[in-house]
Structure 1
């Protein structure tokens, strides 16, 4: 088994993975899910406030989610998420940009309604090749406990 609730350390921060965006994938995603001119067409995008083609914010979040699931949640005791608390798109993501996903554990607790399950608040930061934070996502994730008996005795937090 991969990591479980007990393995999450409040205050920890780790790089999970990275992805480089291409113009082709930006347009492909936008065509299907977010067909705004500055995501679809370089000429139209140049006339926009962004002065060039940019990835949809939903595209950047989808890419980060894919990295998170493949590199961190695969094989873990993850039980899904009750939702996203906050998303901030701080800077545009352009073709050729490489985003590095960093994940921090903000807090965690065992659910009072389920002694076999904990909930953690996680902060994702998408940081580009220039060291600029371009997106942040704050969410909750449910994780199963590896040792329910130990947790109920107060050893896990």
Structure 2
């Protein structure tokens, strides 16, 4: 979509994605090697009663699901900011996530471009909000 195709209030719903224990531990091994993501025995004794996904993984999955809608296509130039990031509830193995993406701001820029800011609200299969964040990208007009 071109910049002029986006408008404040516009909402998109992504497809869903299940996070398996293997997905969680594989991601954590490489990018967030903390016990609550890797050590099942220690994690069971902790605050979350078991292994949970890294918040960074939840953010990455939310972004992936949004990009896979194809809404930006080849019209996106680059991301410029990711703000107001909130990890609200833990994501457990077997949780199925989807993201509601709402356009919250559009700002025309020079050189045939504009900034589009969207709010990600990611939910699990119980309809519990697990993550929020605002992404701003530069898009062609």
- Structure 2 residue aligned with 1:127: 123
Deviation at 1:36, TM superposition (A): 0.7
5+ residue gaps in structure 2? none
5+ residue gaps in structure 1? 146-157
Aligned residues of 1:42 and 1:53 also touching (Cα < 8 A): yes
- Is the counterpart of residue 108 in structure 1 residue 103 in structure 2? no
- Structure 2 residue aligned with 1:88: 86
Deviation at 1:26, TM superposition (A): 0.3
- Structure 1 residue aligned with 2:29: 31
RMSD: 1.2
Select the structure of larger CA radius of gyration: 1
- Structure 1 residue aligned with 2:64: 66
More strand by share: 2
- Structure 1 residue aligned with 2:38: 40
Q: Using a 3 Å threshold, how does the CA distance of structure 1 residues 49 and 24 change in structure 2: closer, same or farther? A: same
Aligned residues of 1:38 and 1:52 also touching (Cα < 8 A): yes
CA distance in 2, matches of 1:93, 1:59: 10
CA distance in 1, matches of 2:114, 2:56: 28
Taking structure 2 as the reference length, the TM-score comes to 0.94
Q: In structure 2, which of residues 96, 113, 121 is the aligned counterpart of residue 117 of structure 1? A: 113
Taking structure 1 as the reference length, the TM-score comes to 0.85
